[in-house]
Structure 1
Amino acid sequence: MNTIIRDQNTNAKGKEGNFAVHITIKNMSKVWFITGASKGMGLEVTKAVLANGDKVIATSRNITEQLAKLGKEYKNLLPLKVDITNETAVKTAIETGIKIFGQIDVVLNNAGYYLVGSLEEISDEEFRQTMDVNVFGMCNVIRNSVPYLRQQQSGHMINIASNMGYIGYANTGSYNASKFAVIGLSEALAQEVQPFGVHVTVVAPGMFRTSFMSDTTLAVVKNIIPDYHVAEHVKILHSIDGNQPGDPAQLAKVLLEISQLPEPPLHLPLGTDSYESILEHRKKEAIELEQWKHLSLATDF
């Protein structure tokens, strides 16, 4: 972030009220803590932040070749191997980052897990794995980073949800549940940390051109019940892979931009598909609420 400092001095003739303005650009670099930074949107944001001159504590379950290469190229990058479902590992990573860079200004909770399967098919273990990464892992990061943001009376927490955190879809119930939770906890967190000068933004991306839907990344339930047509659902997702409308590099630019705003948004859908689907869903909700209003209002004493 750049701060403009204006110095006013009298001109050479010393006439009262006649000033020369000298503008100095002071670079105020920020320190980012990013989860899921080794690929996809996390990697794109990491690249954009580094190119902007900011520092990054980039965490991932595995340090990919791309992330390791960035580490050699940028001295302001600290790659750390972290399993966010392990709170001790998260706490250590945050402490390490602060020890090296002095502070954390922006926390990007980007790491995510997507499982395809109906609620009848999904096992307890599979459902918990989705929640462990998308909700409890995120909470581990929040719980251990907010004390520093609160103490310094500034900061920005950016939580990645999805348009599927506003709209439920068949065969993705565990993912829907986790992303609905991310939106709810982000709204609560925003109210809790607002008195300390800390901002919260929950981002709802649509479909972006990453490997999220590839056959090597996409997770599918083990207990397949043919009646739910999960195999067909998976084929559709694989066919979309590589043709998603969203550009991760543009998403990175937007996140970098909102990190510099004095009053960033709380809710931010990203992508035409996300924005339009959420808007249409809200319209349908309003119609349904009005249709059944007579029952909703019939329960008071």
Structure 2
Amino acid sequence: MNNQKIWFVTGASKGMGLLLTKLLLDKGHKVAATSRSLDSLKKNVGIQNHHFLPIELDITNSDDVKQAIDLTISYFGGLDVAVNNAGFSYIGSLEELTDAEFRTALDVNLFGTVNVIRASMAHFRRHKSGRIINIASAAGYIAGPNIGSYVASKFAIVGLTEALAMESAHLNIKPTVVLPGSFRTNFLGEDSLNYAKDPIDEYQSSNTYKSYAERAGKQPGDPKKLAAELVNLADMENPPVHLILGPDSFKMIMDKRERDLNEFESFKEISLSTDLQ
């Protein structure tokens, strides 16, 4: 393959990460894939060859992430694309979530992503080349009730990707934040959704949990098409900083932007009234 690349993919033992890993290996790419469970990763990928490097990794540990990136570069002789895919969600209002729960959500979804970016950038910067793909969500633009910790982490990933794109443009490093809608993976399963341990009746967050659980296996998006677009993204000469995937995500984000613009315009007089006279 003329376009063979070396990939680093987090959260690869299930869902989108697993589909992406299998697709990449099928296309002849080299893949370092990570998971908290090495046994599950090896079993679910089901491929054993020199193009596949399975790594057991806690992405919240910055030292371990650096070692995993270094191992990838040493094993394959380089790194071209880093994909931040690992993530999960708590269901619970901001008041319901404990400090530990909220921090865990940010540690995995946000700081895990930051750890991979930092470790990858050291290599990309030296070689003046590299792609970073951060998997966010439509929830990176659109808030929802009882998923505040998830929304906070995904909004942050959108912002940090924008900042990274500005910081790294002169280094020929091209980051993209992907904003998927509802795809038929296991993300709405019990191992990806976690319910706040101390619910408060007034918030009715249990209804949100039930609603999400009932949608599992009924999502409209084709995850194989999503994985294929991530591979295509890495081949784009000029990739977008933001890539919305899914008609549902596109509509929700466009509608949200319109509502925001209308609100901004409604209060424009106040907004413009605060300079020194």
User: Which bracket does the TM-score occupy, shorter chain normalised?
Assistant: over 0.9
Inter-partner Cα distance in structure 2 for 1:167 and 1:93: 33
Q: Confirm or deny that 1:223 pairs with 2:223.
A: no
- How far apart, in 1, do the equivalents of 2:47 and 2:252 lie? 41
Q: Give the 5 Å matches for 1:50-61.
A: 50-61=25-36
- The question of 1:172 aligning with 2:118 is answered no
Larger radius of gyration: 1
Alignment of 1:166-205 (within 5 A): 166-205=141-180
- Please state whether the residue corresponding to 2:53 is helix, strand or coil: strand
Larger % of strand: which? 1
* Structure 2 equivalent of residue 94 of structure 1: 69
Note if contact 2:14-2:44 (Cα within 8 Å) is conserved in structure 1.
no
Asked if structure 2 preserves the Cα contact closer than 8 Å seen for 1:71 and 1:77, the reply is: no
Tell me the number of residue pairs that the alignment of Structure 1 and Structure 2 aligns. 276
**Higher relative contact order structure (alpha carbons within 8 Å, sequence separation ≥ 6):** 2
SS at match of 2:212: helix
Residue 159 of structure 1 is matched in structure 2 by 134
Percent of residue pairs identical: 47
Look up the match of 1:281: 256
SS, match of residue 235 in structure 2: coil
1:1-301 equivalent positions in 2, closer than 5 A: 27-65=2-40, 67-68=42-43, 70=45, 72-301=47-276
- 1:74 positional shift: 3.5
- C-alpha distance in 2, partners of 1:284/1:69? 43
CA contact (8 A) 2:83 2:135 kept: yes
Give runs of ≥4 in structure 1 deviating > 4 Å.
none
Cα distance in 1 for residues equivalent to 2:215 and 2:185: 11
Q: Alpha-carbon deviation of 1:292?
A: 0.6
Residue identity opposite 2:116 in structure 1: V
CA RMSD of aligned residues (A): 1.2
In 1, the alpha carbon distance for the partners of 2:58 and 2:46 equals 19
Q: CA deviation at 1:71?
A: 5.6
Distance apart, 1:66 and its partner CA: 5.7
- Corresponding residue of 1:9: none
TM-score, structure 2 normalization: 0.97
